Amino acid sequence: MDPGKFLLFTMGGLADAAYLFIVAAGLSLVFGALRVINMAHGSLYMVAAFVVVVVANQLGGGIGFLPALLLAVLVAALVGVVIEIVVLKRIYGQEHLVQLLATYAVSLVIAGGVRIVFGVNYRIVAAPISGHVSVLGYNYSLYSLLMIGAAVLIAAGVWLLMFRTPLGRNIRAAVSDPELLNASGVNVTRLYTIVFAIGAGLAGLGGVIVAPSQAVNGTMDTDVLVLAFAISVIGGLGSIIGSAVGAVIVGLVISFGLVNPVTNNFALAFVFIIMVVVLTIRPWGLFGTPEQT
Amino acid sequence: MTRWLPASAGDRVRWAAVAVLAIVAVSIPPVANWYEDFTLGDFSSKFAIFLASSAVVLALWAMSYNLMLGYTGMVSFAHAAYFGIGAYVVALGSKHFHLPVLEALVLSPVIGAAFGLVSGIIALRAARLYFSLLTLAISQVLFAIAYQWYSFTGGDNGVHGLDIPDAISTYAPQYFFVLGVTVFCVLLMYGLVRSPWGAALLAIRENRERARSIGINVKRYEVSVYTIAAAFAAVAGGLFAIVQQYAQPEMLYWTENATPVVITLLGGLGTFLGPAVGALIYVVLQQYITTSSTFKLYFDITLGVIVLAIVLAAPGGLVSLPALFMRLRGRFRRGEPDQAVAESRGEAIRMLDVQKAVLAEAIHAAELETGAGLLKLEGVSKRFGGLRAVEDVSLEVRQGDRHAIIGPNGAGKSTLFNLITGRLKPSSGRIWFEGREITGKPVHSIARAGIGRAFQITSIFPRLTVRENLQYAMLAHRGLTARPFGIASRIFRDEAMTLLEAVGLGAYADLPAGQLSHGDQRAIELAISLALGSKLILLDEPTAGMSPFETQKAMELVRRIATERKLTLLFSEHDMEVVFGTARTVTVMHQGRILVQGTPEQVRRNPEVQKVYLGELDVEEFSA
């Protein structure tokens, strides 16, 4: 493979990794703090994608994208707050089956709602910036570079939030001992709502960023959710760095898997084979910590 | 009252439900035909029968899922894959290999079980959530293969148009064929869940740790139920291919697993026939909503709202649904006192009949020679990170001895017990039992070797009846739970009853153990460890939470049984009266190490021991 092609597929993989990381980071953050696997995470991603498409197209062109982005992320976060207060608060600490079923039920309601509000047809939206740069004989769309840049910024932002702010300190404390944190005067109930809203907002941001690069449709919730599971499991559930590494692995495996004529049909299978291997050898993932029993 | 009527109200309701289901199932085709004539063709009986066939297939699929979910609590995302594989076996067998459909249908559970066994062994390396995620990954790999392997599976087009034999190609005969196969499978499953094998599954669902400590190899049972569920799912898939005449890769996609789960939930989790009712509701609901012009987009929302309502309305989790239902029913039917909410009053220990207990057949006498070494620890240590919980402990417990381990909180007593029973692996050192090394062996094989255990924190099977708690312990310990036939609740029934009456629990034999008071649950815990027929019994603070009177009675029981049956006891205890009244040998632990060992008298006089205990008292007074 010549270097130009190699770079092309690497960048393609990284662009996929970009939005997948943002979604998986939200899933992982929520699991780390609340111990809940949120089956409705992909739904929040889908809702935001639809909102950004409709609003950006309404406002028109590249200028409309930014306000649409803000609105879409806000909507996702708000829906998240409602889910947390109405559903999750009642099922914290219960067996995984109950949490899986409840959040799955939420995802059904949202999927149905999206179909009723936005219709069953797929939608498209133009990227806020157009144009290409040419490197080693191949064109790269500026938007995919922007996606990668955004993911790096988000990664840095989440890291700063977790390790450099009082809120992050509380979240990390809630992961290890919520009762002690509660006793020391922190409103853990509200903290959980905030964490879930951040997670939902990240899902929404992922949906916004991916919207211009693919058709927005009614099954994108489950498609992204299963990949986000794979990423967070490979990287380690609850670990933000793990999500980043997992996303890059998954993005590159898909990208390079698809070019190779021998493997192109089974690129997605490889992602899940990696997931199986990681889970059997190191169930807590590459960067996770083993669960206390 | 005629004799052939089942005795309890619950049983009568259950049999009535079975009868109603059977009548409904058999009468669907004739009623549909009659209704078509009645409405002069506005109603298609063929379509109604076709829907009924689909419902039966879904019911079988959901029941196979329930075998795993309801009886072991395993949440699998790969169950749809086995359903899909079953459909592909029949469809591809017919199209590619010109196999008659019926032969392919017989082959489908074999292939489904093969896939289930291999993926079960992989997925069950992890537990709970990580198990679920592994099944998700496995199902996606299988989906990708079905979706992309065009030359074999037809890729995203799937396989269409099967060669269905004439005998079952028309609607009504096909329906009865599907129904017959399903009923056959359901009877097999019913036999399985009532057998000792099924009893082991229930024990695992109720309390994995306890199940291990009575000698159940938890992993092996989980792999076997996973494989068997996969086989039945594949039969359901094969029937699906016959009814729908296609197999598609989407059938394997992970989201498809929601269908059997929702059906199970609709019918009531934890009931055997619930999924059958759920499937009927599901198919009717789906048909009604998706063909309605106004509501056709509302199917997902409706399902979502129903599932949410069920999950959130049962605050104790899904398992409380049957109880919730019973409570609601009790509210409408005042006449019948609700036995399920009756609670014991913690009097069991007071009613204890020591003489009877000592003679109880249920406790197997171990033929032992008093005085020989039974359990031996050599330099055993356990470190958690920097914490040295147990440090260089060497200890010998002789046959027939009553050996107490005492020491202040945090001395390492419970950790030591966990090391002996295999729950924890020692960081270094070796452990022998009856001359055989058991260091690092799994919990269940140590239990089977003859070390029984009562836990410090009561560890019983809360939703099984008090009697089943004992019966299952006896079954497991005697290695009978591998039997997939017979009726578990009829084996060791009398033996369990004798022991229960002896420990004063006879009146509560049929109540769920979790509803008894704390003191009575301690009595069950004790009875389980006695019923195991172990040579060595480890009691971790057997009288924790008991009143002085109860303590006295319970220890009298333990002492007498140990003497009469030549059992060896190793126990930890805080109550010094209990220790010096029961033990023949006392070992004092302090900060993970053995401080002193000797006769009760030697230990009592030892100045170091007095210092340790006085020291602890000082600290307690200081912090109070």
Give the per-residue SS3 of chain A: CCHHHHHHHHHHHHHHHHHHHHHHHHHHHHHHHHCCCCCCHHHHHHHHHHHHHHHHHHHCCCCCHHHHHHHHHHHHHHHHHHHHHHCHHHCCCCCHHHHHHHHHHHHHHHHHHHHHHHCCCCECCCCCCCCEEEECCEEEEHHHHHHHHHHHHHHHHHHHHHHHCHHHHHHHHHHHCHHHHHHCCCCHHHHHHHHHHHHHHHHHHHHHHHHHHCCECCCHHHHHHHHHHHHHHHHCCCCHHHHHHHHHHHHHHHHHHHHCCCCHHHHHHHHHHHHHHHHHHCCCCCCCCCCCC
Taking a C-beta distance cutoff of 8 angstroms, is the pair B178, B239 a contact? yes
Banded pLDDT at B348 (limits 50, 70, 90)? low
Distance from the A115 Cα atom to the nearest Cα atom in chain B, whole angstroms: 7
Q: What is the mean predicted confidence (pLDDT) over B116-142?
A: 90
Question: Which residues in chain A have Cβ-Cβ distances shorter than 8 Å to B305?
Answer: 105, 109
Nearest to B147 by CA among B236, B253, B245, B259: B253
CA B77, chain centre distance (Å): 19
Banded pLDDT at A274 (limits 50, 70, 90)? very high
The amino acid sitting at B563 is T
Q: Is A194 exposed, middle or buried (0-12, 13-18, 19+ CB in 10 A)?
A: middle
B187 interface with A at CB cutoff 8 Å: no
* H or E segment to which residue B587 belongs: strand B585-590
| Rounded-to-integer distance, Cα B34 and Cα A28, Å | 57
A111 interface with B at CB cutoff 8 Å: yes
- Say what the pLDDT of residue B187 is: 94
Distance from the A242 Cα atom to the nearest Cα atom in chain B, whole angstroms: 16
The DSSP string of B169-237 is TSHHHHHHHHHHHHHHHHHHHHHHHHSHHHHHHHHHHH-HHHHHHTT--HHHHHHHHHHHHHHHHHHHH
Q: What ipTM was predicted for this assembly?
A: 0.89
- Say what the pLDDT of residue B148 is: 85
Taking a C-beta distance cutoff of 8 angstroms, is the pair B25, B175 a contact? no
Tens digits of per-residue pLDDT, B83-106?
999 999 999 998 888 888 999 999
Cβ distance B312 to A94 less than 8 Å, yes or no, reads no
The pTM (predicted TM-score) of the whole model is 0.86
In chain A, residues 152-181 whose CB comes closer than 8 Å to chain B = none
- Say what the pLDDT of residue B335 is: 43
Tens digits of per-residue pLDDT, A162-184?
999 999 999 888 888 888 888 88
A30 interface with B at CB cutoff 8 Å: no
Cβ distance B303 to A113 less than 8 Å, yes or no, reads no
Banded pLDDT at B12 (limits 50, 70, 90)? confident
Query: To 10 degrees, what angle do helices B299-313 and B258-267 make?
Result: 50
Name the residue of chain A whose CA is nearest to B306's CA. A105
Cβ distance A96 to B129 less than 8 Å, yes or no, reads yes
Q: What are phi and psi of A169, to 5 degrees?
A: -60, -45
| Rounded-to-integer distance, Cα B61 and Cα B69, Å | 12
Q: What is the mean predicted confidence (pLDDT) over B103-122?
A: 95
A106 interface with B at CB cutoff 8 Å: yes
Residue B350 has pLDDT above 80, yes or no: no
B122 interface with A at CB cutoff 8 Å: yes
CA B489, chain centre distance (Å): 15
Cβ distance A107 to B140 less than 8 Å, yes or no, reads no
Name the residue of chain A whose CA is nearest to B69's CA. A97
Cβ distance B318 to A101 less than 8 Å, yes or no, reads yes
Taking a C-beta distance cutoff of 8 angstroms, is the pair A35, A98 a contact? no
| Percentage of the residues of chain A whose pLDDT score is greater than 90 | 56
Name, in order, each residue with C-beta under 8 angstroms of A14's C-beta and a sequence gap of 6 or more.
A148, A248, A251, A252
Residue B14 has pLDDT above 90, yes or no: no
| Rounded-to-integer distance, Cα B265 and Cα B284, Å | 16
* H or E segment to which residue B243 belongs: helix B218-244
Task: Map residue B385 onto helix, strand or coil.
Answer: coil
Q: What is the mean predicted confidence (pLDDT) over B407-411?
A: 83
Q: What is the mean predicted confidence (pLDDT) over B156-180?
A: 89
B133 interface with A at CB cutoff 8 Å: yes
- Say what the pLDDT of residue A279 is: 86
Name the residue of chain A whose CA is nearest to B148's CA. A265
A100 interface with B at CB cutoff 8 Å: yes
| Rounded-to-integer distance, Cα B523 and Cα B543, Å | 9
Taking a C-beta distance cutoff of 8 angstroms, is the pair A181, A49 a contact? no
CA A177, chain centre distance (Å): 26
Residue of A91, A97, A116 lying closest to B75 (CB–CB): A97
| Rounded-to-integer distance, Cα B127 and Cα B256, Å | 22
Question: Which residues in chain B have Cβ-Cβ distances shorter than 8 Å to A276?
Answer: 122, 134, 137-138, 141
Six-digit token string for B502: 């002896």
Residue of B138, B258, B315 lying closest to A104 (CB–CB): B258
Banded pLDDT at A280 (limits 50, 70, 90)? confident
Which residue of B128, B303, B308, B443 to mutate against A (max A Cβ within 10 Å)? B308
The amino acid sitting at B198 is G
Q: Is A3 exposed, middle or buried (0-12, 13-18, 19+ CB in 10 A)?
A: exposed
Q: Which residues of B525-559 are buried (b: 16+ CB within 10 A; e: fewer)?
A: bbbbbbbbbbbbbbbbbbbbebeeebbbbbbebbb
Most confident of A5-14, A129-138, B37-46, B609-618: A5-14
Q: What are phi and psi of B38, to 5 degrees?
A: -65, -40
Cβ distance A269 to B315 less than 8 Å, yes or no, reads no
Q: What is the mean predicted confidence (pLDDT) over A183-199?
A: 92
A104 interface with B at CB cutoff 8 Å: yes
| Rounded-to-integer distance, Cα B133 and Cα A276, Å | 9
| Rounded-to-integer distance, Cα B574 and Cα B542, Å | 10
The most distant pair of C-alpha atoms in chain A lies apart, rounded to whole Å, by 61
Tens digits of per-residue pLDDT, B516-572?
887 788 888 888 887 777 889 898 888 777 778 878 877 887 887 777 777 888 998
Name the residue of chain A whose CA is nearest to B423's CA. A293
Mean pLDDT value across chain B: 84
Q: What is the mean predicted confidence (pLDDT) over A77-83?
A: 97
Residue of B261, B300, B317 lying closest to A112 (CB–CB): B300
Residue of B69, B122, B315 lying closest to A276 (CB–CB): B122
Q: What is the mean predicted confidence (pLDDT) over B168-197?
A: 93
Cβ distance B299 to A112 less than 8 Å, yes or no, reads yes
In chain A, residues 203-222 whose CB comes closer than 8 Å to chain B = 222
Tens digits of per-residue pLDDT, B286-304?
988 888 877 778 888 988 9
Question: Which residues in chain A have Cβ-Cβ distances shorter than 8 Å to B299?
Answer: 112
Banded pLDDT at B40 (limits 50, 70, 90)? confident
The amino acid sitting at B153 is T
- Say what the pLDDT of residue B603 is: 86
| Percentage of the residues of chain B whose pLDDT score is greater than 70 | 87
Q: What is the mean predicted confidence (pLDDT) over A194-222?
A: 94
Residue B342 has pLDDT above 50, yes or no: no
The amino acid sitting at A14 is L
Name the residue of chain A whose CA is nearest to B301's CA. A109
Cβ distance B312 to A90 less than 8 Å, yes or no, reads yes
Taking a C-beta distance cutoff of 8 angstroms, is the pair B215, B477 a contact? yes
Nearest to B210 by CA among B513, B417, B459: B459
Banded pLDDT at A132 (limits 50, 70, 90)? confident
B385 interface with A at CB cutoff 8 Å: no
Nearest to B254 by CA among A267, A245, A224, A249: A224
Mean pLDDT value across chain A: 90
- Say what the pLDDT of residue B108 is: 96
Residue B258 has pLDDT above 80, yes or no: yes
- Say what the pLDDT of residue B321 is: 57
Tens digits of per-residue pLDDT, A143-157?
999 999 999 999 999
A101 interface with B at CB cutoff 8 Å: yes
Task: Map residue B405 onto helix, strand or coil.
Answer: strand
Question: Which residues in chain A have Cβ-Cβ distances shorter than 8 Å to B294?
Answer: none
Residue A215 has pLDDT above 50, yes or no: yes
- Say what the pLDDT of residue B387 is: 83
| Percentage of the residues of chain B whose pLDDT score is greater than 90 | 32
Question: Which residues in chain A have Cβ-Cβ distances shorter than 8 Å to B307?
Answer: 101-102, 104-105, 108
Banded pLDDT at A227 (limits 50, 70, 90)? very high
Distance from the B389 Cα atom to the nearest Cα atom in chain A, whole angstroms: 16
3-state helix, strand, coil split of chain B in percent (to 5) is: 60, 10, 25
Q: What is the mean predicted confidence (pLDDT) over A201-223?
A: 93
Which residue of A262, A279, A281, A284 to mutate against B (max B Cβ within 10 Å)? A279
Cβ distance B133 to A233 less than 8 Å, yes or no, reads yes
Distance from the A265 Cα atom to the nearest Cα atom in chain B, whole angstroms: 6
Residue B367 has pLDDT above 60, yes or no: no
Banded pLDDT at B438 (limits 50, 70, 90)? very high
Tens digits of per-residue pLDDT, B462-503?
888 999 999 998 898 888 888 888 888 888 888 888 888 877
Taking a C-beta distance cutoff of 8 angstroms, is the pair A39, A100 a contact? yes
Residue of A96, A102, A230 lying closest to B312 (CB–CB): A102
Six-digit token string for B309: 């309502």
